[in-house]
Amino acid sequence: MSVADKTNEASDSSSCPIKAERPASRRVNGSQKTLGIGMTIERFLPSKQLRMIGAWAFLDHIGPADVSDNDGIQVGPHPHTGLQTFTWMIEGELLHRDSLGYTQLIRPGQVNLMTAGKGISHSEESPENRPAEFHGAQLWIALPEQYRFIEPAFEHFPTLPKSEISGLEITVIAGEAFGLSAPATFYSPLMAADFFAKTSELATLALNPDFEYGVLVLEGNISVAGESLDTTELLYLSCGRESIDIKADKASRFLLIGGAPFKEDVLMWWNFIGRSKYEISGFVADWNSGESKDFGKVEGYPGKSLMAPLAPWG
């Protein structure tokens, strides 16, 4: 998707010590943003309190919302650089089109992974005939220096590996965790999993002590390491944990994302991740010229392309 407003400040990444003496946790507030036209979303990364979790640099919780009687999601063609966009669908449908020529409908339980690398453009829209409810998450993953100019790519994963621990239905959607391995290609050590509670039991989840983690409730309420958490806050967990105890209310859903602290300072502006103001200004000018070779053209979107806002440094 796209950062649709200009309040997304340019930000640098942060990191935590690989093994903290005592693992810390921190609550991170979401902030409401407008996605394209007609849809309000809750953004948890980047925020003033926290820039990244491993290579995860962006996290939007979208819905649940009724999209039967409005425009739903309509995000016109826009570019990306230096990152991968990762879409996880819980309810509803979304149609992706990109400058490589892919047109892909994503449905519940599926993942879309778009690798921008040196540059790509795409659009996302609620299809005309669609289910009433929309619920999903979109995340971005920063690419490390040696991979950030790779050729763009798009992958769709119709099924993901599933398991169950103490009444929690687990779907591993990125990386390896809980004995499962998701198929998507990544360039940093990271993981993501969706959990749905069938019963209210205490579950102990094994963690990688070299990873920092974030827990975001998508529906309902959970208790993490004795702390109560709902959909309004993300719980950040620093490195050094071997496991975590989670008790989810029945019919609650949550997302766990984790990764090795990202070692590079990244610069994020609008839909670009780069390393310098000069570089980002070049991406903005190139996209806004309308004649970019690197970003290509999206065919078939029934609306206008988005313009890149000028960065505050000009």
Q: How far is the CB of 1 from Mn ion (least distance, A)?
A: 5
Tokens 């491993």, residue? 54
- Residue 2 as a binder of Mn ion (CB under 5 A): the answer is yes
CA-based radius of gyration for the chain: 19
The interface region with Mn ion, picked from 1-9, 62-70, 188-196, 205-213 by CB under 5 A, is 1-9
Least distance between Mn ion and beta carbon 247 (Å): 35
Among the listed residues 1, 50, 205, 216, the single contact to Mn ion using CB under 5 A: 1
Find out whether 19 and 239 touch, Cβ atoms under 8 Å: yes
* CB 226 to Mn ion: min, Å: 37
Q: Which is nearer to Mn ion, 40 or 181 (CB)?
A: 40
- Which parts of 143-265 are beta strand (E)? 153-157, 162-165, 168-174, 176-177, 180-181, 190-197, 202-206, 212-219, 222-224, 227-229, 233-237, 243-248, 253-259
183, 187, 261: which is closest to 16 by C-alpha?
A: 261
- Asked whether position 57 contacts Mn ion by CB under 5 A, the answer is no
Per CB under 5 A, 89 contacts Mn ion: no
Compare residues 170 and 284 and give the one whose CB is closer to Mn ion.
284
Cβ-based burial of 161 (10 A; exposed 0-12, middle 13-18, buried ≥19): middle
Region of 2-10, 152-160, 171-179, 195-203 interacting with Mn ion (CB under 5 A)? 2-10
**202/226 Cα distance (integer angstroms):** 11
Min separation Cβ 131 and Mn ion, Å? 22
Mask of contacts with Mn ion, 174-193, x by CB under 5 A? --------------------
Closer to Mn ion at the Cβ: 123 or 231?
A: 123
Question: Burial of 228 by CB count in 10 Å (0-12 exposed, 13-18 middle, 19+ buried)?
Answer: exposed
Binding residues for Mn ion, per CB under 5 A? Answer: 1-2
